[in-house]
Amino acid sequence: MSAFPEPLLRCLEELQKLPGIGPKSAQRILFALLDRGQEPALALARSLESLARSVERCPACRAYRETGRPCLLCEDPRRDRSLLCVVESAADVLLIEATGEYSGLYHVLHGLLSPMRGVHAEHLGVDAIEARLSGGEIREIILATPPTAEGEATASFLASLLAERGAAVSRIAFGMPVGADFQFVDAQTLGRSLSGRKTMAG
């Protein structure tokens, strides 16, 4: 016999299916919700339901949009339609938006090439990139996957696939974090900072 009622256990189980949430975090979230009383928990339940029912992947960029409504990223007339930035996840779109340095279009891969984890080329939505390219507006594709083996493999795979399709393909630079001390930067990062250096106007 468990010390907890069935609905509580079921909720714990559902929460633990989410990435990064173990039994302890699931319990913390659940008890915080219960402690706040009925209304906040119902409000969350309602917003989860409306999320599941009314949000979908945009077929063009594969980020999320309100079902059947124009995509806020793809349809925004202020965005530069000659640039396409390829990222691993929708969360990365938010991070890049927060930099204020980019105003082009996006393509969300929803994963990195990792056959052992079941992520193959066909999961990356390459057809959506190709459809964009055949529109003829894209001038540059920026590969913004992380500097990990899977991130590099994905970028090199896409670069080989998209070469000679009329758009320049570039990789984001990797290097020293702002404010870093040389003494505390690892050799790989320092090496990449050197190989990715750029000319300074004098």
Partner 1 sequence: MTSLRSDAFVLSRSALTESSWIVCLLTRREGKMRAVAKGARRTKSPFRGALEPLNRVRVEISLREGRDLGTLMSADLEESALDLFGRWPAAGILLAVVEVLDRGLAEHSTEEETYRLVGAVLDSMRSGVSPALAWLYFASWFLRLHGVLGRPGRCAHCGAAKETGHFDAGAGGWICRECARSRLEQGIDVSSATREALGDVFRLSLPGLAARSPGPEALKGLKAVVYLALVSYLGRPLASGDHVSG
What is the DSSP secondary-structure string of 91-115? HHHHHHHHHT---EEEEE-SS--BG
Asked if 74 touches Zn ion (CB under 5 A), the answer is yes
Question: How far, in whole angstroms, is CA 91 from its chain's centroid?
Answer: 4
Measured CA to CA in angstroms, residue 39 lies from 25, 35, 44, 88 at distances of 22, 11, 9, 36
**Window contacting Zn ion (CB under 5 A); options: 14-22, 36-44, 58-66, 133-141:** 58-66
**Three-state SS at 50:** helix
**Window contacting Zn ion (CB under 5 A); options: 25-33, 61-69, 154-162, 172-180:** 61-69
Q: Among 25, 47, 50, 103, which residue sits at the site for partner 1 (rule: CB under 8 A)?
A: 25
Nearer to partner 1, 57 or 152 (CB): 152
The Cα 184–Cα 101 span in angstroms is 27
Residue 61 site contact among partner 1, Zn ion, none (CB < 5 to 8 Å, cut-off depends on kind): Zn ion
Task: State the number of binding residues for partner 1 (CB under 8 A).
Answer: 26
Residues forming the site for partner 1 (CB under 8 A): 20, 22, 25, 113-116, 118, 120-121, 147-150, 152-153, 155-157, 159-160, 171, 186-189
